Amino acid sequence: MFRNNYDNDSVTFSPQGRIFQVEYAQEAVKQGSVVVGIVSKTHAVLAALKRNAEELSSYQKKIIPIDTHYGIALAGLASDARVLSNFMKQQSLASRLTYDRPIPLSEITSRIGDRAQTNTQHYGKRPYGVGLLIAGVDQKGPHLFEFQPSGVTQEMVACGIGARSQMARTYLERNLDEFEGSSREELIKHALRALKDSLAQDKELTIENTSLGVAGVDENFKMYEGQEIANWLETTFERPEGGEGEGMEVDS
Amino acid sequence: MNHLPQAWGRPRDDIYGAYDHSYLPQTHANTHPTTHTQSPVVTGTSVLGLKFKDGVVLAADNLASYGSLARFTDVKRLKPFNRKAVVGFGGDVSDMQYLDRLLNSLDVQENYSGAATTEEDDGEAPAATADGEGGEDKHKAILDAKNLHTYLSKVLYKRRSDFNPLWNAILVAGLTTPPPPAPSTSTSSPKDTTTSKPTGPAPSRKPIPYLAYADLLGTTYSSPTLATGFGAHLAVPIMRRAVPDEAAAAKLSREEAVEIVKKCMKVLFYRDARSMNEYSLCVIDGKGVDLQENIKLEGESWAFAEGIKGYGTQTV
Amino acid sequence: MTSIGTGYDLSNSVFSPDGRNFQVEYAVKAVENGGTAIGIRCKDGVVLGLEKLVSSKLLKKDANKRISTVDRNMGVVYSGLQPDGKHFVSRARDEASSWRSTYKAPIPVSSLANRMGSYVQAYTLYNSVRPFGITAIIGGYDAETELSVDGAVGSGPKSGSGGKTKGAKEGGPYLYMIEPSGTYWGYYGAASGKGRQAAKSELEKLKLDPKDGECISLEEGVKEAARIIYVAHEDNKDKDFELELTWVSSVAGPTKGRHEEVPKALREEAEKLAKKSMEGDEDDEEEEKMEE
């Protein structure tokens, strides 16, 4: 049943010094639908592709606002993300209560990193099966952090995780130099384009399957869904009918 | 009848026989009730605080009294936390030491990322790098006076709720960054997304003076003029004469503020029997913390006492 | 004896018939894959250096610091698994803080090394945990000047000896390295991670042993550390890296007794010299070839 003797649990090193259970947990992240995050000098943006189980079901939750100054996007096991997000909400409130200070993003990221690490060193626990992008603004400005099941946390300028996210990352790497100076709207467009690049050929971004989260200096984190993002989709991806875009809108 | 506290609420031994503790959990059997500090032991007297246009002045004398005995005369009661916050302690000195250690460990914690902090983020960067007048706050990420006051007031309130108070009244002085003018969630409605309006860097907010009080009960309040202990009765009226409100504080210069506080320290030395004529004075502004710990009272004269009748051995 | 297939290497805390704990040896393998970390104990302080491999272009530059401060006067750098390292650092901070609350003074480097050695060793004892996948280098400066007790309010008695030995010298720069087994030694120069062999042979060329006379200064140490990291990176040239450098000196020295990042100007100078010396080496090699 097992591929080898060393992948039964997360407390066994392989002869090469790898921990297979942790690596398998990383695979769970790749099963989740793609999420993208970017920061500029003034803003942090998250964009996510939502899946629905079937035609008539609702779409999954991919972006979770945590505190007024930041939120997360997840790829992988949503229930693990819920545990982590509840923990993050508690910690964020504790910081506001104790110090009257919005929790620094580096701090909260490192706390969930430490929690995830424990799961990789003790028998009877399993690593979290979810990857997170943590985006928002604190006293030091806008930030984007990536969290992995191994407990690795890194501050990024831009990042994409989840199924087919390599395509998104390729887009991000190609446009890396533009992000820092981007305006709020430009940044949102970059995030949507990166998201689009990782879609399968026959898929489109629609107001149903796309979520956005935006935070800025002096702008609280807010999630945008449904009709709220129609314009952004419209202006980012000028449809083949391009020129008659205006006319199309009248029709609907 | 036994009036000792451990007998309160229990059947009288002389009528019912000795109380049978055997049914109680082991931790409670045959023990006295838990007691905590019921009164302070070695104490410091008043702390004064006064806001001025770009900072705060704080003062406290260097005396620690054991009852009415002037026990220690070199006790420094103003504790700088970082370049934005100073705490002045009145009340029990050992509890002050406890709080000082607590703040010390908080400071170590805050600077864990210190090895990783760039010079401009360091809470204790040399004053030379700080530009007091510059609009941008280079130290915006450190715990400021308001954060520290919130923290200390929670510590004090927790301890009083445990019936184990830290017997202090404290002033926290320094700077804080005001919150954004209006908490806006979205600056652009979906409609105007077509007009891609560039959002420039946020208007950097300048830190403003901050002064607040907290005590052993967890009580907190704030005012441009504050004092703990006797100073609340003797010094606050004098300070209020010069600074009745925030608007007046916003016009006060540093020199004027120091002058007023020095005058109050003199009045306190004359009238407060648990005070001394050597004190610490601290000014916190955009340039950082300026702490002097051995100021001697100037122009001390007891001539006015000649006119006071009705005390001690005088027979009129 | 080979480890694989015998079954003795499948669980921590199990000895093989020839007395080895294979899981610990495998943890060492995890370290050997990590970027090179070094520590140099100089005359007047300690330098810590790290070859931080950059896994993605999307990482924020100069963020993600890996060398951590444990107490004001002490730092830790590690090779191996980042999350394990963070756990180690977090425990070290707890130890330093609890030491302070007991003794009202900062923990000596030797005591921290001892406590962390015990902690890491405990993770080799049970089959319910795995060993740490890191080798950590701890560098710090124990104050030579008399420190006031934390929270002291007065200056103490103005006369009398106070139980002190006159002329006794204590404190100074210290450096320790802790391995996944919990083993630790004091070092003049320590290296771990992928390029440790190259780094070690470079460290051995430096004047670090006080028995050989005056040791190198802190500033020289910084430049050597940068150079050695560049040398150690030679074997791993296909990957990009960022150089991370921190230092700690006495209260009288440039860091005022604190563990801090090496100032940008000095780091850039050290990095420039390091690059230059690498080019120099290549030129030499080419020249040698020419001569051949």
What is this model's ipTM?
0.91
Query: Is the CB of residue B143 less than 8 Å away from at least one CB of chain A?
Result: yes
Helices (H), strands (E): how many in chain C?
Answer: 6, 10
* Mean pLDDT, chain A, integer: 92
Closest-CA residue of C relative to B96 is C151
Q: Do C150 and B104 touch (CB under 8 A)?
A: yes
Q: Residues 60 to 99 of C: which have CB under 8 A from any A CB?
A: 60, 63-64, 81-84, 86-87, 90
* Distance from C-alpha of C245 to C-alpha of C261, rounded to nearest angstrom: 6
Catalytic positions of B are 37
Q: With respect to residue C13, please indicate whether it lies within any of the assigned structural domains.
A: no
Q: Do A120 and C83 touch (CB under 8 A)?
A: yes
* CATH code, domain carrying B270: 3.60.20.10
Q: Going by C-beta distance under 8 Å and a sequence separation of 6 or more, which residues neighbour residue C155?
A: B74
Per-residue pLDDT at C160: 55
The dihedral formed by the CA atoms of C122, C124, C126 and C127, expressed in degrees to the nearest 10: 150
For residue B249, pLDDT beyond 90: yes
* Distance from C-alpha of C131 to C-alpha of B242, rounded to nearest angstrom: 66
Chosen from A4, A9, A11, A13 to mutate, greatest number of chain C CBs within 10 A: A13
Count Cβ atoms within 10 A of the Cβ of residue C32 and give its class: 0-12 exposed, 13-18 middle, 19 or more buried.
middle
Indicate the range of A128-132, B101-105, B195-199, C196-200 predicted with least confidence: B195-199
Q: With respect to residue C209, please indicate whether it lies within any of the assigned structural domains.
A: yes
For residue A25, pLDDT beyond 60: yes
Q: Do C153 and B76 touch (CB under 8 A)?
A: yes
pLDDT band at A84 (very low <50, low <70, confident <90, very high): very high
Q: What percentage of chain C has pLDDT greater than the value 90?
A: 78
Per-residue pLDDT at A134: 98
Q: Going by C-beta distance under 8 Å and a sequence separation of 6 or more, which residues neighbour residue B140?
A: A139, A140, B177, B207
Q: What is the mean pLDDT of residues C239-253?
A: 95
Q: Do A42 and B185 touch (CB under 8 A)?
A: no
For residue A86, pLDDT beyond 70: yes
- Find the helix or strand (DSSP H, E) in which B71 lies: strand B69-72
Per CB-CB distance under 8 Å, the chain B contacts of C95 are none
The residue with greater pLDDT, A10 or C170, is A10
Q: Going by C-beta distance under 8 Å and a sequence separation of 6 or more, which residues neighbour residue B305?
A: none
Size of interface A-B (CB pairs under 8 A): 78
Q: With respect to residue C10, please indicate whether it lies within any of the assigned structural domains.
A: no
**A144 with A38: CB under 8 angstroms?**
yes
Per-residue pLDDT at B133: 38
Per-residue pLDDT at C289: 52
Question: Is the alpha carbon torsion for C86, A107, C49, C231 positive or negative?
Answer: positive
Closest-CA residue of C relative to B72 is C154
Q: Do C86 and A158 touch (CB under 8 A)?
A: no
Nearest to C151 among B101, B114, B118 (CB): B101
Per CB-CB distance under 8 Å, the chain A contacts of B146 are 100
Per-residue pLDDT at C236: 85
pLDDT band at A164 (very low <50, low <70, confident <90, very high): very high
Q: Do A172 and C58 touch (CB under 8 A)?
A: yes
The residue with greater pLDDT, B135 or A40, is A40
The pLDDT tens digits of the residues spanning B102-150 come to: 999 999 999 998 533 444 444 443 333 333 333 445 677 889 999 999 9
Closest-CA residue of B relative to C255 is B115
Per-residue pLDDT at B219: 97
* Distance from C-alpha of C39 to C-alpha of C49, rounded to nearest angstrom: 6
Range of the domain at C150: 20-291
Domain count, chain C: 1
Q: With respect to residue B83, please indicate whether it lies within any of the assigned structural domains.
A: yes
The residue with greater pLDDT, B20 or C189, is C189
Per-residue pLDDT at B206: 87
Q: With respect to residue B3, please indicate whether it lies within any of the assigned structural domains.
A: no
pLDDT band at A243 (very low <50, low <70, confident <90, very high): very low
**B297 with B278: CB under 8 angstroms?**
yes
* Distance from C-alpha of C2 to C-alpha of B308, rounded to nearest angstrom: 98
Q: What is the mean pLDDT of residues C93-107?
A: 95
The pLDDT tens digits of the residues spanning C32-61 come to: 989 999 999 999 999 999 999 999 999 999
DSSP state, residue A104: P
Q: What is the mean pLDDT of residues B155-161?
A: 96
Nearest to B191 among A101, A188, A231 (CB): A231
If DSSP states are collapsed to H, E and C, what string results for B75-105? CCCEEEEECCEEEEEEEEHHHHHHHHHHHHH
- In the structure encoding, which two tokens stand for residue C154, read together? 């007065």
Size of interface B-C (CB pairs under 8 A): 68
Question: Is the alpha carbon torsion for A39, A40, A46, A49 positive or negative?
Answer: negative
Query: Is the CB of residue A207 less than 8 Å away from at least one CB of chain C?
Result: no
* Mean pLDDT, chain C, integer: 91
Question: Is the alpha carbon torsion for B245, B247, B248, B253 positive or negative?
Answer: positive
Q: Do A184 and B113 touch (CB under 8 A)?
A: no
Q: Do B113 and C69 touch (CB under 8 A)?
A: yes
pTM greater than the 0.90 cutoff: no
Distance from CA of A180 to the nearest CA of B (A): 11
* Distance from C-alpha of A113 to C-alpha of A123, rounded to nearest angstrom: 18
**B3 with B9: CB under 8 angstroms?**
no
Q: With respect to residue C1, please indicate whether it lies within any of the assigned structural domains.
A: no
User: Which amino acid is present at B232?
Assistant: A
| CA C76 vs CA B57, B171, C247, C259, C267: distances in Å | 39, 37, 11, 10, 18
Distance from CA of A43 to the nearest CA of B (A): 9
- Find the helix or strand (DSSP H, E) in which B288 lies: strand B288-296
**A81 with A64: CB under 8 angstroms?**
yes
Residue with tokens 């049978």: B20
The residue with greater pLDDT, A231 or A1, is A231
Enumerate chain C positions whose Cβ falls within 8 A of a Cβ in B: 65, 67-72, 75, 93, 96-97, 100-101, 104, 150-155, 246, 258-261, 263-264
Query: Is the CB of residue C133 less than 8 Å away from at least one CB of chain A?
Result: yes
Domain count, chain B: 1
Q: With respect to residue C270, please indicate whether it lies within any of the assigned structural domains.
A: yes
Range of the domain at B70: 40-112+143-179+201-297
Q: What is the mean pLDDT of residues C75-95?
A: 98
* Distance from C-alpha of B154 to C-alpha of A96, rounded to nearest angstrom: 12
Residue C64's closest CA among A154, B232, A179, B4?
A154
Q: With respect to residue B133, please indicate whether it lies within any of the assigned structural domains.
A: no
- In DSSP terms, B215 is beta-bridged to B169
Residue C45's closest CA among C2, C99, C109?
C109
Per-residue pLDDT at C238: 87
Query: Is the CB of residue A21 less than 8 Å away from at least one CB of chain C?
Result: no
Q: What is the mean pLDDT of residues A8-28?
A: 95
Nearest to B193 among A99, A222, A235 (CB): A235
* CATH code, domain carrying C266: 3.60.20.10
